[in-house]
Amino acid sequence: MLVLITYDVNTETPSGKGRLRRIAKACLNKGERVQNSVFECLLDAAQLENLKNELLSIMDLKKDSIRFYYLGNKYETKVEAYGLCQKYSPEEPLII
């Protein structure tokens, strides 16, 4: 299923900046960055649960927020992109 993950991390302190880097790295390992704090991740149920647990263990529940939007398996009709966005298919191989 395609999951859109967004986050806002308080970076007023050095620990906040560290949390931001760790959250971004965890999301980069599982998906594609589409905006600064927004990732599209194609995950199965187990991968989603693992990533969610990892992100929740990093964040500070009193200072940060993370949102998960579940777009499902028929996500092609639910996503529109305009402007300076690279088109990609999460199901195709990603060449780095």
Checking if the pLDDT of 26 tops 90, the result is yes
Q: What is the pTM of this model?
A: 0.80
- At residue 83, the pLDDT reads 75
pLDDT band at 88 (very low <50, low <70, confident <90, very high): low
pLDDT at 92 over 90: no
Over 70: is that where the pLDDT of 93 sits? no
Name 5's Cβ contacts closer than 8 Å, sequence gap at least 6: 27, 31, 38, 39, 41, 51, 55, 66, 67, 68, 69
Retrieve residue 26's tokens. Answer: 């965890």
